Amino acid sequence: MTSLPLIRFLDRSTPPHIMTLILITGMSALNMSIFLPSLATMTDYFQTDYAIMQIALSGYLAATAVLQIFIGPISDRFGRRKMVIGSLVVFVLATIGTYLAESVEAFLFFRIMQAAVATSMALSRAIVRDMVPQAEAASMIGYVTMGMAIVPMIGPMIGGALDEAFGWHATFIFLGAAGLAVLVLCIFDLGETVKEGGVSFSDQIKGYPELLRSPRFWGYVLCSAFSSGAFFALLGGASFVASGLFNLSPLWSGVALGAPAIGYAAGNFLSGRFSVQMGINMMALIGTAVTILGLGISVILTLAGVVHPLNFFGFCVFLGIGNGMTLPNVMAGSISVRPHLAGTASGLGGAIMIGGGAALSQIAGGLLTTETGTLPLQLVMLGVSVLAMLSVIFVVWREKQIA
C-alpha cells in the first residue's frame, strides 16, 4: 500500500507531480549528454584540442560534484523549491552564454555555469524521500529515473541531428528553450516538501558525524559512485570511439550513445515494479551482476578480435539495465540512513558520485587512441562495476552483523 500524499498538478500548495520530477531530473541528464555528438565539430570550431574541449564534460561534472556538497544542506534549511527554481534561472542564463561564446575559454566558463541545473537531479531524490518511506522511495525514484532515461536516450540523437542540420549552436538554443519551459512548470507545480523552517545548519552539522560514521551510508554511496562511474567513463570515451574508431556520423554517434539509456529505462521499470517486494539490496545486487555479465562478454569478444560498433555499444545496454536496477535502490538507501538529513545525504552522495564520474570520464578519454582501440575503456567500465557489486555485498554483510 502506498502512502503518497495528496498531489494536485499545477498546485504548488501540494507536493510536485511525478511528471515534474521526471522533467527536472531529465533536464540535468539532457544537458549532460545532448552535445556529445558535436564535440569533434566544436573542437574544430574553436580551433582547440579534443582534450581541451572534453573539459565541457569533465569540468561540468567536477563543478556538479562541488555544487552538490552545498545543495543538500541549503535545501534542508531553506527548502527544495527555492533551490530548484533558482538553479534553473542560472542554467537558462548560462545556456545563452554558451550560445554567444566566441572563444573556447568563454564557452567553457558558461558551460561549467550550466552545472547549476544538477541541483534538480540531486533534489528530486530528496523530494521523493520527503514524500514517501524508504522502499516506496526506491520504487518512485525508479519511475522518476525511468522517465528521465528517455531524455539521455534521445538527447544525443537530437543533438546529432541538430548539428547536421543547423550546426552545433542549435543544440544550445534547444537546451535554453527546454530549460525555460521546465522553469515555468516548476514555478506553478513544484510545491515545497520540507517542513516549515527546515533543519537548521547547526542541527545539520551535529548530524554529520553520525551520517559519515554510518558504514551503510558509505556502502550505498560507493556503490552509486562505482555504478555511475562506468557510465561516466563511457561518456568520456564514447564520442572518440564512435567518431574516431568506428567513423560514425554525428547522428549515428548520437544513436550509439543512446543505447545504454534504452537499457536504463528497462532497469528503472524493474526497480519501480519490484523494489518494494524484493528489497533495495537484492535489486542492487542483481543490477550489478547484470552489468558485469554484459560488460564481461563484451571484453571477451574484443579480446577474441571482434571489433564492431554492435559489440561495444550493443553490450552497453547491459550497463544501462544494471544501472537502472542499481542506482534508484542505492540512492534510496543512502538518503534513508538519516531521513531528516535527506537533502544533505543526497547532496553528499551526489558529489561523490559525480566527482568520481568526472575523474573517470577524463581518464577514459585519455586512455583511448586509435592504436589501443576500445579495450581500455571496456576494462575500466568492467572494473568499476565489480567494485560496485562489492560495495553492495558490504552493505548486506553489515546489516547481517547488526541483526
Per-residue confidence (pLDDT) for residue 265, from 0 to 100: 80
Alpha helices in 243-341 (DSSP H): 250-257, 259-278, 280-303, 309-336
Per-residue confidence (pLDDT) for residue 152, from 0 to 100: 61
Per-residue confidence (pLDDT) for residue 137, from 0 to 100: 64
Under 8 Å between Cβ of 253 and 243? yes
Residue 235 has pLDDT above 90, yes or no: no
The DSSP annotation for 44-111 comes to HHTT--HHHHTHHHHHHHHHHHHHHHHHHHHHHHH-HHHHHHHHHHHHHHHHHHHHH--SHHHHHHHH
- Per-residue pLDDT band for 292 (boundaries 50, 70, 90) equals very high
Per-residue confidence (pLDDT) for residue 342, from 0 to 100: 67
SS3 state of residue 361: helix
Report the topology of domain 18-402: Growth Hormone; Chain: A; (1.20.1250)
Between 382 and 160, the more confident residue is: 382
**Distance separating alpha carbons of residues 278 and 271, to the nearest angstrom:** 9
Percentages (nearest 5) of helix, strand, coil residues in the chain? 85, 0, 15
Residue 377 has pLDDT above 80, yes or no: yes
Under 8 Å between Cβ of 392 and 316? no
Write down the domain spans for the chain.
Answer: 18-402
Task: Enter the DSSP assignment of 244.
Answer: I
**Distance separating alpha carbons of residues 131 and 267, to the nearest angstrom:** 23
Percentage of the chain surpassing pLDDT 70? 86
- Per-residue pLDDT band for 204 (boundaries 50, 70, 90) equals low
Between 307 and 239, the more confident residue is: 307
Per-residue confidence (pLDDT) for residue 2, from 0 to 100: 47
pLDDT tens-digit map of 121-143:
778 777 876 776 655 666 676 66
**Distance separating alpha carbons of residues 212 and 168, to the nearest angstrom:** 43
Between 196 and 245, the more confident residue is: 245
Per-residue confidence (pLDDT) for residue 1, from 0 to 100: 41
Per-residue confidence (pLDDT) for residue 149, from 0 to 100: 59
**Distance separating alpha carbons of residues 114 and 225, to the nearest angstrom:** 22
Q: Which of 178-182, 237-241, 300-304 has the lowest mean pLDDT?
A: 237-241
Average pLDDT, the chain: 82
Report in angstroms the alpha-carbon separations of 315 from 44, 180, 302, 305, 318: 31, 36, 11, 16, 6
Residue 356 makes CB contacts below 8 A (sequence gap 6+) with: 225, 226, 228, 229, 232
